[in-house]
Amino acid sequence: MAEVLLEVNHLRTEFKKRKGKVTAIDDVSFHIDKGEIVGLVGESGCGKSVTSLSIMRLLRDTPGEITNGTVLLGGKNLLELSDKEMHAFQGKQMAMIFQEPMTSLNPVMRVKDQIVEAIRLHLDMDQAQALQHTEKMLTQVGIPDVQQVMNSYPHQLSGGMSQRVMIAMAMSCYPELLIADEPTTALDVTIQAQILDLMRELNQKNGMSILLITHDLGVVAEMCSRVIVMYAGRIVEQADVETLFAHPRNPYTQGLLASLPRLGQHVDMLPSIPGTVPDLANMPAGCKFAPRCKYAMDICTKEEPKLVDMEKPGCKCRCWLVEQQMKGEGKA
């Protein structure tokens, strides 16, 4: 077994609203091994980003609050650290890149000043050393005219270039964990492929773990070794990538995969999952997916299923039907 880098246990994040609280994510538990790329998928509003922001403790400017659970990075519970201790973790042990590379960079600071700032926050370097390090990092992420880019302002860079700069900045202090929140969504397809290649290359070279948040199952299939599927703030299925694509257990995952277009198959209309994601403030009792699920049973609307281990080690699923099937097989 590989060494565990990040371990999230029963994480719950609630958002304060005018009337009471809504639970954005609940009972989120997963782990990431050293050097592993884990995908976190789900449709918009399912809590993917809240999960990543909770791990990074970036909920400050939102009404969000972590009310339960632990986030262990290298054995240390991040949720118990003071703000000051946390600043030392952010950027140094774990870094994050965002969906919109064009707006993730400060428009009034030159590229080199931003990266130097990030470096000098965590590494003991003087200005000249930090500049040198910046140059090295930018070269490493494949930027051709490093000197020119270093002296550019973000609006002078294209989207792909900005994302490379963001990656260079995030990587500059050699974090052990990179959280990539839909890093390629805003980029066009060819640039998307290049950025993904770059991330995989950095992962292989440095052994850096990546939590890749996306709603693009194609990206997951290409990049990740394990996949976590979220729905309405809960993890509904967790499996290695082959198992998930070949034998999805949870009806939600099955629906997701069925709605993907496939090469070589002609269909007039792609199947879709009927209904919409439930309103966070007005969650159904029982299984959150039950109202949209074609297999829904009585128990599904009454009691929420637990995330239970499947036969295959490391695979987990949250579904009454799957649980019953397993019990049935056990008896037989």
Give me the residues that bind other proteins (CB under 8 A), please: 56, 58, 60-61, 86-92, 95-98, 100, 103-109, 117-118, 121-122, 136, 139-145, 148-149, 152, 155-158, 160-161, 164, 166, 169-171, 174, 191, 194, 197-198, 201, 205-206
CB atoms within 10 A of CB 30: 20
Per DSSP, 254 falls in state H
Is 129 or 194 the residue whose CB approaches other proteins more closely?
Answer: 194
Q: If DSSP states are collapsed to H, E and C, what string results for 3-24?
A: CEEEEEEEEEEEEECCCCEEEE
Q: Could you tell me the smallest distance in angstroms from the CB atom of residue 321 to other proteins?
A: 39
Pairing of strands 64-73, 234-240: unpaired
In the Cβ-directed half-sphere of 199, how many Cα atoms lie within 13 Å? 32
Helix (H, G, I), strand (E, B), or coil: what is residue 215? coil
Q: Could you tell me the smallest distance in angstroms from the CB atom of residue 118 to other proteins?
A: 5
How many whole angstroms separate alpha carbon 89 and alpha carbon 95?
A: 9
Q: Could you tell me the smallest distance in angstroms from the CB atom of residue 248 to other proteins?
A: 32
Is 39 or 101 the residue whose CB approaches other proteins more closely?
Answer: 101
Is 32 or 143 the residue whose CB approaches other proteins more closely?
Answer: 143
Is 78 or 256 the residue whose CB approaches other proteins more closely?
Answer: 78
Is 63 or 274 the residue whose CB approaches other proteins more closely?
Answer: 63
Is 165 or 319 the residue whose CB approaches other proteins more closely?
Answer: 165
Closest to 12 measured CA to CA, from 66, 64, 55, 56: 66
In the numeric block, which tokens belong to residue 23? 């639970």
Q: Could you tell me the smallest distance in angstroms from the CB atom of residue 28 to other proteins?
A: 19
Is 129 or 254 the residue whose CB approaches other proteins more closely?
Answer: 129
Is 178 or 220 the residue whose CB approaches other proteins more closely?
Answer: 178
Q: Could you tell me the smallest distance in angstroms from the CB atom of residue 203 to other proteins?
A: 12
Beta carbons of 10 and 233 less than 8 angstroms apart: no
Q: What is the dihedral of CA 100, 86, 5, 314, to 10 degrees?
A: -70
Q: If DSSP states are collapsed to H, E and C, what string results for 180-204?
A: EECCCCCCCHHHHHHHHHHHHHHHH
CA distances to 114, 148, 149 from 153, in Å: 10, 10, 8
Helix (H, G, I), strand (E, B), or coil: what is residue 205? helix
Beta carbons of 270 and 261 less than 8 angstroms apart: yes
